[in-house]
Amino acid sequence: MNILGISAFYHDSAAAITQNGEIVAAAQEERFTRIKHDPGFPTLAVEYCLKEAGLSLDQLDAIVFYDKPLLKFERLLETYYAFSPKGLLSFLTAIPVWLKEKMFLKRMLYEELFKIGSFDKKKVKLLFPEHHLSHAASAYYPSPFEDAAILTIDGVGEWATASICHGVGKDLKILKELQFPHSLGLLYSAITYFAGFKVNSGEYKLMGLAPYGDPNSEQTHQFADIIRTKLITIYEDGSIWLNQKYFDYATGLRMVKDKEWEALLGFKRRESESNLEEIHCNFALAAQIVTEEIVIKMAQEAKRLTGSKNICLAGGVALNCVANGKLQKANIFENVYIQPAAGDAGGALGAALAGEYIYFKQARKLTPNALDEMKGSYLGPEFSDLETKQMARKYKAEFTYFENFDELASRTAQILSEGNVVGWFQGRMEFGPRALGGRSILGDARNSEMQKKLNLKIKYREGFRPFAPSVLAEDAADYFELDGDSPYMLLVHGVQEKRRNPLPSNYRSLPLMEKLYYLRSDLPSITHIDFSARIQTVHKETNPRYWTLINEFKKQTGYGVVVNTSFNVRGEPIVCTPEDAYKCLMRTEMDYLVVGNFLFSKENQPAWTEGDEWKNEFKLD
């Protein structure tokens, strides 16, 4: 059984392919086009997946699109009707696009697919599972569980904004749904917007800003109460009701009604890129606190409905690693599994798996003793030595080639220990938003200057944003309050008490940046403001090269942990090819680049004459 899954036309378009239930390949279109969150038809991602699987379109059993466009159109029409005469401008903006394009999505899909190759439409089925069913399938079927509750939470699919499902064997059943316009994902995006960040890409910034808020502040408590009593109503089963008096997303052209929010909260919407103040931090913390409360209630309801000891998570809200960590600590379930591509990109994979197990009713097989069926999420393209050499010739790049990888790992560990920043490009590219040691920028977590250097000189992004640790899986408990594994950097837990430094009595009253650069632990570059860390456990079974590097670093320094951030600059998708990686080396103040067994030292490279024009290529996210 060969099945191609596709997500497209909203944001984070992607493709994935499965063969007899095995996940063979998956990738986001943005990595190929270099357009962040590319919403277009994923032509290049489809071509990559077919090539990786050794298939043509005509050899597929089905092509599965991740949602039902006609059901989404129904929701659009019913919403405008319910709110009329409000929303006329939005109606006039949206409806012509639907009538011209999305109403005829099946035709559009065929047109785009036939540009890639020919196939018999009668033989290759075109399927359309519901959006949240695709999310649920993406989380449950790759999980290691034979029985699990499944919780999906995002902005909106067709009608559903959250769902509780139950997976048993190959069967998956939807038990309960929350419907538009009431949505935890849209609430969080609305707060992201009012805090001055970009919707659909800045939510993780709001999450990262929250720890700068004061949990004991009266202002934080007031904001949380306003959210709970004015903006939304929270019910015991985790369902919520959003007061549309304050929101504009249902029929308008923006997320919220600015004046109503300003009157309610007592401050104006923050302008993008303007200074962050204490009030913004406390507001972000309040939003995070309420989000966590709702997620916990939804999980408790999932437990009540299924009785399972396991839970799987997907949907954009499942990328909120702080909430995930709180859920794990709550011990509602024995095991928590999160799809690493939890957002819409992962819908492509879920669509393919839904086709496999729900439509075709194939038997489900689990790999014994495996973490899951995601192969570490290393499902994207990889590149040969020949391709790296061709790139080096093109740019007249100087490099050292290591015949023995262990020697390269030892040299790279030494380079890191000396305070250098290294671009690390190995094997297959990651699927999902996190860099997991395939396309990563690395540094020494012990270095007190590393966070500032990475933010300001490499990533060109806001200084307040934290960085994640990659730690040897077997050593994780020595550094972090983590019980179990976190291979996909989707859980936040505390740094061990023994590694923390005492805080000054006036810590909470310090300006944001003074708080940030206070040495809070012996791993200052990955210890966030509240002593937390977004942890990636590195497993020898799924990424032996990355594990070997960190193990070499441990031999030399005594620490089996490094800083890991995604290999890109702000507004740029994570690098895909050796050429992307080399450009990033030369455009930033990165010190070294490792591609496969090739080591490039920045100081040995020919002069880079491009200038700063390249910054216009990438819109700030």
CA 317 to chain centroid, in Å, comes to 10
Q: In this structure, what token pair is assigned to residue 531?
A: 């002593």
Residues 447, 593: one domain?
yes
Mean pLDDT, to the nearest integer, of 479-494? 96
Side by side, the strands of the sheet bearing 532-538 are 400-401, 598-601, 592-595, 422-425, 439-443, 561-566, 468-472, 532-538, 491-494
Residue 86 has pLDDT above 90, yes or no: no
Among candidate residues 281, 312, 338, the one where a domain is terminated: 338
Pairing of strands 468-472, 160-168: unpaired
Residues 118, 189: one domain?
no
The CATH number that applies at residue 51 is 3.30.420.40
CA 581 to CA 574: how far, in whole Å? Answer: 9
Residues 6+ apart with CB under 8 A from 51: none
Mean pLDDT, to the nearest integer, of 474-478? 98
H or E segment to which residue 509 belongs: none
Within-domain flag for 259: yes
Query: What is the per-residue pLDDT across 550-605, written as a single tens digit (0 to 9) for each?
Result: 999 999 999 999 999 999 999 999 999 999 999 999 999 999 999 999 999 999 99
Helix 405-417, helix 544-557: angle, nearest 10? 50
Within-domain flag for 449: yes
Tally the residues of the chain. Answer: 621
Residues 444, 459: one domain?
yes
CA 319 to CA 505: how far, in whole Å? Answer: 34
In the prediction, which pLDDT does 461 show? Answer: 87
Mean pLDDT, to the nearest integer, of 10-17? 95
In the prediction, which pLDDT does 92 show? Answer: 65
Query: What is the per-residue pLDDT across 195-243, written as a single tens digit (0 to 9) for each?
Result: 999 998 899 999 999 999 999 999 999 999 999 999 999 999 999 999 9
**Percentage, residues of the chain above pLDDT 70:** 95
Query: What is the per-residue pLDDT across 178-197, written as a single tens digit (0 to 9) for each?
Result: 999 999 999 999 999 999 99
In the prediction, which pLDDT does 618 show? Answer: 84
| Contact call for residues 530 and 322 (beta carbons, < 8 A) | no
> CA neighbours within 13 Å on the CB side: how many for 500?
15
Confidence of residue 342 (pLDDT cuts 50, 70, 90): very high
Residues 419, 558: one domain?
yes
CA 73 to CA 81: how far, in whole Å? Answer: 12
Confidence of residue 467 (pLDDT cuts 50, 70, 90): very high
Query: What is the per-residue pLDDT across 262-286, written as a single tens digit (0 to 9) for each?
Result: 999 999 999 999 999 999 999 999 9
Mean pLDDT, to the nearest integer, of 460-488? 94
CA 527 to CA 519: how far, in whole Å? Answer: 9
In the prediction, which pLDDT does 158 show? Answer: 87
Residues 21, 123: one domain?
yes
Within-domain flag for 378: no
- Burial code (b: 16+ CB inside 10 Å, e: under 16) for 559-589 equals bbbbbbbbbbbbbbbbbbbbbbbbbbbbbbe
Within-domain flag for 379: no
Residues 321, 361: one domain?
no
Residue 432, SS3?
A: coil
Mean pLDDT, to the nearest integer, of 440-469? 92
Residues 152, 132: one domain?
no
In the prediction, which pLDDT does 343 show? Answer: 96
Within-domain flag for 483: yes
Confidence of residue 77 (pLDDT cuts 50, 70, 90): low
> Higher-confidence residue: 85 or 512?
512
In the prediction, which pLDDT does 617 show? Answer: 80
Confidence of residue 88 (pLDDT cuts 50, 70, 90): low
Residue 126 has pLDDT above 90, yes or no: yes
Tally of domains in the chain: 3
Residue 72 has pLDDT above 90, yes or no: no
Residue range of the domain that includes 126: 1-136+344-372
Confidence of residue 101 (pLDDT cuts 50, 70, 90): low
CA 125 to CA 449: how far, in whole Å? Answer: 55
Confidence of residue 82 (pLDDT cuts 50, 70, 90): low
Residues 264, 226: one domain?
yes
Distance between first and last Cα of the chain? 39
Within-domain flag for 377: no
Within-domain flag for 496: yes
Residues 362, 286: one domain?
no
Lowest model confidence (mean pLDDT) among 76-80, 434-438, 493-497: 76-80
The CATH number that applies at residue 569 is 3.90.870.20
Residues 120, 256: one domain?
no
Residues 98, 232: one domain?
no
In the prediction, which pLDDT does 97 show? Answer: 66
Confidence of residue 80 (pLDDT cuts 50, 70, 90): low
Within-domain flag for 380: no
Mean pLDDT, to the nearest integer, of 524-542? 96
Burial class (CB in 10 A: 0-12, 13-18, 19+), 364: middle
Burial class (CB in 10 A: 0-12, 13-18, 19+), 414: middle
Mean pLDDT, to the nearest integer, of 306-312? 98
Residues 428, 575: one domain?
yes
| Contact call for residues 342 and 315 (beta carbons, < 8 A) | yes
In the prediction, which pLDDT does 612 show? Answer: 77
